[in-house]
Amino acid sequence: MVCVPYLLLLLLPPLLRVSADTTEPCELDDDDFRCVCNFTDPKPDWSSAVQCMVAVEVEISGGGRSLEQFLKGADTNPKQYADTIKALRVRRLKLGAAQVPAQLLVAVLRALGYSRLKELTLEDLEVTGPMPPKPLEATGPAFTTLSLRNVSWATGGAWLGELQQWLKPGLRVLNIAQAHSLAFPCAGLSTFEALTTLDLSDNPSLGDTGLMAALCPNKFPALQCLALRNAGMDKLSGVCAALAAARVQPQSLDLSHNSLRVTAPGATRCVWPSALRSLNLSFAGLEQVPKGLPPKLSVLDLSCNKLSREPRRDELPEVNDLTLDGNPFLDPGALQRQNDPMISGVVPACARSALTMGVSGALALLQGARGFA
Ligand SMILES: *[C@@H]1O[C@H](CO)[C@@H](O)[C@H](O)[C@H]1NC(C)=O
Ligand SMILES: *[C@@H]1O[C@H](CO)[C@@H](O)[C@H](O)[C@H]1NC(C)=O
Ligand SMILES: *[C@@H]1O[C@H](CO)[C@@H](O)[C@H](O)[C@H]1NC(C)=O
């Protein structure tokens, strides 16, 4: 794939002539830190990628093309290049805009197994064909962070389990946005022993039933942060039920940018994870504080909603750090700005400033600063 030449071209003798007069698809910054390649040209000069050898951050865009042509190199055993790959400085790699045979993707993952890459991002990729069968030993890379955005797989929902087989365990952060399928067959998934952050934001058609299918029970035992921004959640009770079914114990749950409905009276009550300390309900279109919130929280963000009066203490859970800015009762212009993105683009509509109850100012400041971090 784009990255095979990147990885393999590095192995060519450094006499590769780089012509100075044509614009090159790859650009390395002055600090030898970041290298960006964009192979949009119909006949791209792949060898330009050689200069990325020294970079720590590498970003490669395949210009939307199919990378089938690199399949013939995919059988090469990367072991013979192990030392060279190990010497690469790359820690963050982003691959995007291409059609990639699964076999090639696996070849790249095997090669990366010798690298010291920490973060891999795949974006706008169409992975074609079946994934090769499970390797005998885990040869793949030991990433800490894997991010996928708009990646489609020929194998439907089974993709995560299949991909997981090619990675060493130890993944700590998994981000999956604009997924084509999050309905994972749980039997095919191994436990993510070390995963502390799961971000399924920007999957507007997920919904709470989709969440139930994505969160395979007992597969995320170390989960601390779950982000479901803009993920089609509409009922708190549905989210709560999905968390309970999956037996996850997140400390922090981000439900911002979902249109949350106020739970209908008589809806079944759910017990929230006992570890839950921080809940983000900002930009949720709430006209009143929803019922059925966890009884005790450290942080509750209700900013940028449609609350027309200050919530009474008995409507709120016990909370240290409560954010209410950007609600009409505090800021009459807020509603208009929420409804008109043109205006909110100009005015910092919902700038965060912690409005705290029952904590010292210093603690509030600290928590506010953490919110920005
Ligand atoms: C690559 O170049 C094309 C055409 O110049 C441009 O449309 C595209 O946004 C670029 N992609 C990246 C990732 O920079
Ligand atoms: C998603 O990726 C495909 C390529 O696989 C691309 O054609 C499409 O434009 C991307 N969609 C978005 C919303 O970026
Ligand atoms: C809640 O989410 C909003 C929007 O996603 C973000 O701007 C804000 O910082 C979050 N609040 C906290 C307490 O993390």
- pLDDT, one tens digit per residue, over 291-329 is 888 989 999 999 999 999 999 988 999 999 999 999 998
Span 136-173, pLDDT tens digits: 776 788 899 999 999 999 988 899 999 999 998 899 99
Give residues with Cβ within 8 angstroms of 335, minimum separation 6: 306, 328
> Higher-confidence residue: 118 or 345?
118
Tell me the pTM: 0.86
Which candidate, 332, 321, 312, places its Cα nearest to that of 355?
321
pLDDT band for 7, please (50, 70, 90 cuts): low
Whether residue 264 has pLDDT greater than 70 = no
Q: Which atom of ligand 2 is nearest to the CA of 97?
A: 4
- At residue 202's C-alpha, the angle toward residues 303 and 190, to 5°, is 120
Rounded CA-CA distance 327/287 in Å is: 9
Q: Which domains does the chain have, with CATH numbers?
A: 1-182 (3.80.10.10), 196-357 (3.80.10.10)
Ligand nearest to the CA of 254: 3
The predicted pLDDT at position 321 comes to 95
The predicted pLDDT at position 262 comes to 72
| CA 323 to ligand 3 centroid distance, Å | 10
The predicted pLDDT at position 266 comes to 60
Helix (H, G, I), strand (E, B) or coil at 34: strand
Q: What are the backbone angles phi and psi of residue 345, rounded to the nearest 5°? A: -65, -30
The predicted pLDDT at position 77 comes to 78
Long-range contacts of 360-363 (CB under 8 A, 24+ apart): 363/320, 363/321
pLDDT band for 353, please (50, 70, 90 cuts): very low
CB atoms within 10 A of CB 371: 16
Does ligand 3 have an atom closer than 6 angstroms to the CB of 247? no
Q: What is the mean pLDDT of residues 80-86?
A: 87
Span 207-233, pLDDT tens digits: 999 999 999 999 999 999 999 999 999
Does ligand 1 have an atom closer than 6 angstroms to the CB of 38? yes
Rounded CA-CA distance 217/245 in Å is: 7
| 249 within 8 A of 272, measured Cβ to Cβ | no
Q: Which atom of ligand 2 is nearest to the CA of 124?
A: 2
The predicted pLDDT at position 11 comes to 44
Rounded CA-CA distance 140/158 in Å is: 18
By alpha-carbon position, which residue is closest to atom 7 of ligand 2? Answer: 124
Which candidate, 223, 94, 194, places its Cα nearest to that of 148?
94
The predicted pLDDT at position 346 comes to 36
Q: What is the mean pLDDT of residues 37-46?
A: 88
Whether residue 368 has pLDDT greater than 90 = no
| 303 within 8 A of 324, measured Cβ to Cβ | yes
The predicted pLDDT at position 349 comes to 57
pLDDT band for 71, please (50, 70, 90 cuts): confident
Whether residue 360 has pLDDT greater than 50 = no
| CA 213 to ligand 2 centroid distance, Å | 24
Alpha helices (H) along 66-176:
82-87, 102-112, 159-164
- The single-letter DSSP state of residue 289 is P
